[in-house]
Amino acid sequence: MNTTVKKLSWIEKNSLGLFVCFVLGLISWLVAEFEKSIFDRAVIDALVIAIVLGVVVKNVLPLPLGVATGSTFASKQILETSVLLLGAGVALQDISAVGLPLFLLILFSVFGGLLFAWILGHKILHLSSRLSVLVGVGNSICGNSAVAAVAPVIKATPNEVAAAIGISAILGVGQILILPIFVPVLSLSNVQYGIVAGLSVYAVPQVIAASFAVSAVSGEMGTLVKLVRVLFLGPMIVILGFFHRESNDSKDLVSKIKTYVPWFVAGFIILMLLRSVDVIPESVGTQAQKVSKLLFILAMAGLGLGVDIKAVRTVGIRVAATILGTMCFMIIVALIGSTVLELR
């Protein structure tokens, strides 16, 4: 009897907020699908649309108090579940496809890009450490998905997530338009340009757009490099979870393990390992990632509903400067690295 009462109580507290998140998420998904039907890709990612819609609704419309509880659940528990499901689509053996020299270049750019963003954003421009890390992982790994996946690990606020995703997405579109100019100006080969695009462009769809705009060879190389960057998301989550752990001197062994490795990170690793040894078939992993993306959209709507737009404005210019600096760092690393390693 008590269990039933608790369950009904949970539904009553969260149903309104989850319904609003569902509606905003559905609209975001439909808009992205409409974009794909016209441009063959989503010019504005559904994650960006969802968080923007959430921000607009939160800051423009008078919302009932009951919305906050459900939207918070979406931005935390549903977001963490999304991260877990991502692991089912990641196979470690995919790394071997790029060869050792290019893999080492990708490795350096991922961790170097994160460190650069943290130093520039936190130490020089005085952004919060969490926001600087979000900018770093978004621009060095896989865009919005990396920001969304890392946010619960480092306990980032909705305002920080909104700033990292929203401003990065806007500047990322500009990068798509500008980057192809490098080919004639710097006399880049198709392979070298693909490496530059794959290493420096924000999100996977944007990499595809920027690299295939030059040639099929550039597109294939850019996509491959970007997908290897995506594989670093799991290790990065574990590493950041370690550095952002809470003090656990007085906790038992199980509690300490949970502190070092959150449940959804542990789930991500387990699913990734199962996928790598083919216990999880590729087809199942692909479907799990699709479900993960849908849950991410729902979670981003929930995050948007918790954003104070005034707080985001106060850091906007500094976030943009950090993102632009990180983009430039990634491009320079790609240009120098591909030249020195003769990846042409």
Token pair belonging to 225: 């490099």
Residue 108 has a pLDDT of 94
Would residue 208 count as lying in a domain? yes
Query: What pTM, to 2 d.p., does this model score?
Result: 0.70
Would residue 7 count as lying in a domain? no
Domain total of the chain: 1
pLDDT surpassing 60 at residue 213: yes
Q: How does residue 249 score in pLDDT terms, banded at 50, 70 and 90?
A: very low
pLDDT surpassing 60 at residue 6: no
Q: Which of 60, 281, 305 is nearest to 159 (CA)?
A: 305
Residue 5 has a pLDDT of 46
Q: Which residue is associated with the tokens 């790994």?
A: 141
Would residue 10 count as lying in a domain? no
Would residue 9 count as lying in a domain? no
Q: Is 248 exposed, middle or buried (0-12, 13-18, 19+ CB in 10 A)?
A: middle
Model confidence pLDDT, tens digit, residues 177-199:
788 888 889 989 988 999 999 99
Residue 250 has a pLDDT of 46
Question: What number is the average pLDDT over the span 101-130?
Answer: 94
Distance CA(118)–CA(127), nearest Å, equals 9
Would residue 6 count as lying in a domain? no
| Cα-based torsion angle of the residue sequence 260, 266, 269, 271 in order, rounded to the nearest 10 degrees | 180
Distance CA(241)–CA(141), nearest Å, equals 16
- Mean pLDDT over the full length of the chain: 83
CA-only gyration radius of the chain, Å: 20
Phi-psi region of 342 (alpha: psi -120 to 50; beta: other; left: phi over 0): left
pLDDT surpassing 80 at residue 311: no
Q: How does residue 210 score in pLDDT terms, banded at 50, 70 and 90?
A: confident
pLDDT surpassing 60 at residue 255: no
The percentage of the chain sitting over the pLDDT mark of 90, rounded to a whole number, equals 25
Would residue 120 count as lying in a domain? yes
Higher pLDDT, 247 or 124: 124
Task: Give the structural domain span for 235.
Answer: 16-340
